[in-house]
């Protein structure tokens, strides 16, 4: 069902890797809602070619960019304005990766070069995206920029490792740049804190299945799916949320405000 709430809007969507990706589902919905956008991902992720079928379906151009490279980002923003025929109304940063998590390093034995990579890819890249958008003057007034995060920024989830620090950086950038961009151009910047979701990035965290089940039982509405998340993102890109900025928005079925649930008690007293 479409209400065309993004009709006439232009944007960039980072991070669609495969059909499970939150960014992939978001692209499908944005297309359904009348938006025009460019799809982007790191060159290495594009090599698998899966994104081509999404691009075809959405009538979208693919422009490669490593989100840690200012050069790539500058080209991306400049080319996107050319391809889409004007400035942008929305940007989705749906990017996360930790070499320490990927390679199974324990939190007491982190590789610090990798730690810095985690921070750069999963946190600082959001600043790079925002700063490049500002320097290339790529955003329209009242635009909306979003990044995806996880509650491990506030509470400890041991296997999330150095990604917890990256998400804290990411959320802090949304507040600081949100202030700046509001003053400059009435642009809003927010993070959405999403439930555990079965995607490539999600299931890279060890013990993810247990993690997923626990969150599901601790959330009175259950875990929010990738599709639910895409719907929320579309609303945040629409004109219905023009005064929401500098927020970390919980999209987690009630997890973050639950102390304990009957489902968890039932599990523990089995
Ligand atoms: N899956 C979950 O459980 C969950 C929960 C909360 C938040 N999130 C966040 O949602 C976002 C999207 O992840 P997902 O779950 O859809 O998984 P995903 O693996 O489908 O997406 C992660 C994306 O990051 C991209 N990426 C990695 N390094 C990059 C770089 N240098 N430059 C550009 N892109 C790069 C990958 O190619 C991939 O497309 C991430 O920020 C993730 O941390 C995920």
Residues annotated in a binding site for NAD(+): 15, 21-22, 95, 167
Place of tokens 């290339």: 136
Strands 61-62 and 248-251: unpaired
Strand partners, 93: 147
Residue 122 in this model has a pLDDT that exceeds 90 = yes
Number of the ligand 1 atom closest to the C-alpha atom of 121: 31
- Name the burial class of residue 112, with classes exposed (0-12), middle (13-18) and buried (19+) by CB atoms within 10 angstroms of its CB: exposed
pLDDT at res. 85: 98
The question of whether 160 is a catalytic residue gets the answer: yes
d(CA 100, CA 33): 38
Residues 75-101: pLDDT tens digits?
A: 999 999 999 999 999 999 999 999 999
Structural domains of the chain, with CATH: 10-268 (3.40.50.720)
What percent of the chain is modeled with pLDDT above 90? 92
**Coil, helix or strand for 117?**
helix
Residue 1 in this model has a pLDDT that exceeds 80 = no
Residues 32-78: pLDDT tens digits?
A: 999 999 999 999 999 988 999 999 999 999 999 999 999 999 999 99
pLDDT band of 265, cuts 50, 70, 90:
very high
Ligand 1 mutation target, pool 69, 95, 145, 174, most atoms within 8 A of CB: 95
pLDDT at res. 206: 78
Q: Tell me the HSE value of 246 on the side-chain side, using a 13 A CA sphere.
A: 10
pLDDT at res. 167: 98
Helices (H), 120-207: 125-135, 163-185, 200-203
What percent of the chain is modeled with pLDDT above 70? 100
CB of 27 shorter than 6 A to ligand 1: no
Which of 235, 126, 116 lies closest to 175, judged by CA? 126
Q: Nearest C-alpha to atom 5 of ligand 1 is from which residue? A: 196
Average pLDDT over residues 124-139: 99
Residue 109 in this model has a pLDDT that exceeds 80 = yes
Residues in contact with 45: Cβ distance below 8 Å, sequence separation at least 6, in sequence order: 17, 51
CB of 129 shorter than 6 A to ligand 1: no
- Lowest mean pLDDT, pick from 13-22, 139-148, 158-167, 197-206: 197-206
d(CA 264, CA 204): 24
Average pLDDT over residues 186-204: 94
DSSP H/E element including 53: helix 51-58
Residues 209-221: pLDDT tens digits?
A: 888 999 999 999 9
d(CA 113, CA 210): 30
Residues 135-158: pLDDT tens digits?
A: 999 999 999 999 999 999 999 998
């Amino acid at each position: 069902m479409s209400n065309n709430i993004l009709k006439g809007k232009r944007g960039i969507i980072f991070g669609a890797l495969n059909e499970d990706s939150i960014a992939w589902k978001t692209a499908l919905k944005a297309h359904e809602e009348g938006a025009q956008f460019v799809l982007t991902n790191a060159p290495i992720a594009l090599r698998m070619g899966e994104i081509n079928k999404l691009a075809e379906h959405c009538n979208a151009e693919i422009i490669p960019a490593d989100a840690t490279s200012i050069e790539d980002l500058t080209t991306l923003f400049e080319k996107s304005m050319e391809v889409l025929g004007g400035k942008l109304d929305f940007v989705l940063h749906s990017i996360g990766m930790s070499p320490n998590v990927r390679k199974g390093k324990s939190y007491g034995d982190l590789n610090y070069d990798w730690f810095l990579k985690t921070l750069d890819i999963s946190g600082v890249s959001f600043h790079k995206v925002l700063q490049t958008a500002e320097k290339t003057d790529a955003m329209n007034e009242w635009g909306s920029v979003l990044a995806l995060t996880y509650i491990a920024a506030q509470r400890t989830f041991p296997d999330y490792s150095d990604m917890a620090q990256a998400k804290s950086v990411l959320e802090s950038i949304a507040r600081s740049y949100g202030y700046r961009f509001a003053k400059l151009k009435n642009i809003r910047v927010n993070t959405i804190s999403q439930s555990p979701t079965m995607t490539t990035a999600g299931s890279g965290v060890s013990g993810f299945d247990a993690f997923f089940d626990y969150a599901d039982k601790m959330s009175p509405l259950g875990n929010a799916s990738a599709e639910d998340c895409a719907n929320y993102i579309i609303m945040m890109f629409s004109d219905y949320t023009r005064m929401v900025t500098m927020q970390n928005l919980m999209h987690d079925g009630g997890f973050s405000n639950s102390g304990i649930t009957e489902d968890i008690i039932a599990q523990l007293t089995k």
